[in-house]
Amino acid sequence: MITRKLNWYYIRLLVFSLLFIFGPTLSLAKTIVLEFAHPYPATHTQHQAVLFPWAKKVEEACNGALKIKFIPGGTLAKMGQAYSMVEKNATDISWDFCDYSPGRFPLTTVIELPFMVSTAEKASVALWKTYEQFPEVRKEYENTKLLMLSCHAPGVFATVKKPIKTLTDLRGMKIKTASSFTTAALQIFGAVPVIQLVNETYTSLERGMLDGVVMPYDGMAIFKVHELLKYYTPADFYSMVYWVAMNKNKFDSLPEDIKTVIEKSSGLPFSRAFGKSCDESKTAMKQICIDAGMQEISFPKIEIQKLLGLTNPLKQQWVMNMETKGLPGRAVLETVSRYLYE
């Protein structure tokens, strides 16, 4: 009996010793949780098709050492506030449009000039390669760890009552604009651009405060405005830039192996995947718009040439504005244009 008691005593002593020795190490192995908060619904195509799979891929590569927790729908990060929240570590990772942080990313906006983008994948690759090539572009994101730059599929004209068949049809129409360049272009076309967040557009159309929008099919379907619109006129008019970024200090604090996983999963592959997803969803979203009763109106080639001719000066104006600020505007425009047509 005494022997059994002694054996039990030594077993317990051994267990406590092991806990004392390895306990601190075990506590250090606790899973790291990163919050990924953004303004868009969890039903958003790119949330489901790109961001969520990207997060799962990173988690799996980290073998349980990392968990990425999504907080979508503007619960924490609202439109226009997301980048500042990443900078201030109010959230670890976020996603939004560059244009919702006006003036923060001047060189990045090169891809948003009118009639630059034919496919989102090409534009996303061209933009990331330009970002890598120019320190002046990288400097625009120096306060965060940039993970991705991408563009949505080209935006089109869409209206409630009056179809747009010619340049003349745009005159006097109140159109929900997108970037500063679409605003300038719409003014040149004789339309009245209306600046507002996309989540306000349904109500504006419903109340007659807007005659139409410039928007990709994804935006029309995701924000339900296709329910109110009757006509759409494809023109590859514009695109806007998305970013995904992480708090710089949070990234730097991660273990080296986790940082390596995030690095390998981000950058050009992440940007390309996001753009490709936008192109793929374009067909499905366009069909949703058609099924809702929207009718396609074609621009004659001569009208397209008029639009191109009227907006070409905006490129030179952009170059001048950048160069006045001491930024390499012409070199960036030439570089991104070369990548777009590789």
Q: Give pLDDT tens digits for 144-191.
A: 999 999 999 999 999 999 999 999 999 999 999 998 999 999 999 999
Residue 283 identity = T
Examine the pLDDT at 68 and tell me if it is beyond 90. yes
20 or 225: which carries more pLDDT confidence? 225
pLDDT at res. 18 = 43
- 278-331, pLDDT tens digit by residue? 999 999 999 999 999 999 999 899 999 999 999 999 999 999 999 999 999 999
For residue 94, what are the contacts with CB-CB under 8 A and spacing of at least 6? 36, 37, 38, 77, 82, 83, 85, 86, 244, 245
For residue 254, give both structure tokens. Answer: 């991660």
92 or 2: which carries more pLDDT confidence? 92
pLDDT at res. 320 = 98
Examine the pLDDT at 117 and tell me if it is beyond 60. yes
Domain range 30-152+240-281, CATH class: alpha beta
pLDDT at res. 161 = 96
Q: What is the pTM of this model?
A: 0.86
Helix (H) or strand (E) holding 55: helix 52-61
Q: What is the arithmetic mean of pLDDT over 253-266?
A: 97
State residue 224 phi and psi, 5-degree precision: 65, 10
SS3 content of the chain, % helix, strand, coil (to 5): 55, 15, 30
For residue 326, give both structure tokens. Answer: 């001491």
The answer to whether the beta carbons of residues 172 and 191 sit under 8 Å apart is: yes
Examine the pLDDT at 253 and tell me if it is beyond 60. yes
96 falls in which pLDDT band (50, 70, 90)? Answer: very high
What CA–CA distances, in Å, run from 156 to 19, 65, 316, 337?
A: 64, 44, 23, 21
pLDDT at res. 147 = 98
Decide: helix, strand or coil at residue 284. helix
Decide: helix, strand or coil at residue 228. coil
d(CA 254, CA 312): 46
Q: What is the arithmetic mean of pLDDT over 205-213?
A: 97
pLDDT at res. 14 = 47
Examine the pLDDT at 21 and tell me if it is beyond 70. no
CATH 3.40.190.170 placement within the chain: 30-152+240-281, 155-239+284-340
pLDDT at res. 12 = 53
pLDDT at res. 6 = 43
d(CA 338, CA 120): 15
DSSP string, 151-191: EPSPEEEEESSS---SGGGGTT-EEE--SHHHHHHHHHHT-
Query: In angstroms, how far is the first alpha carbon of the chain from the final one?
Result: 84
29 falls in which pLDDT band (50, 70, 90)? Answer: low
d(CA 284, CA 221): 10
Q: What is the arithmetic mean of pLDDT over 32-51?
A: 95
For residue 38, give both structure tokens. Answer: 């953004």
Residue 70: Cβ-neighbour burial (10 angstroms; 0-12, 13-18, 19+):
middle
Pick the CATH number of 155-239+284-340 from 3.40.190.170, 3.40.50.1100, 3.30.460.80, 3.30.70.3460: 3.40.190.170
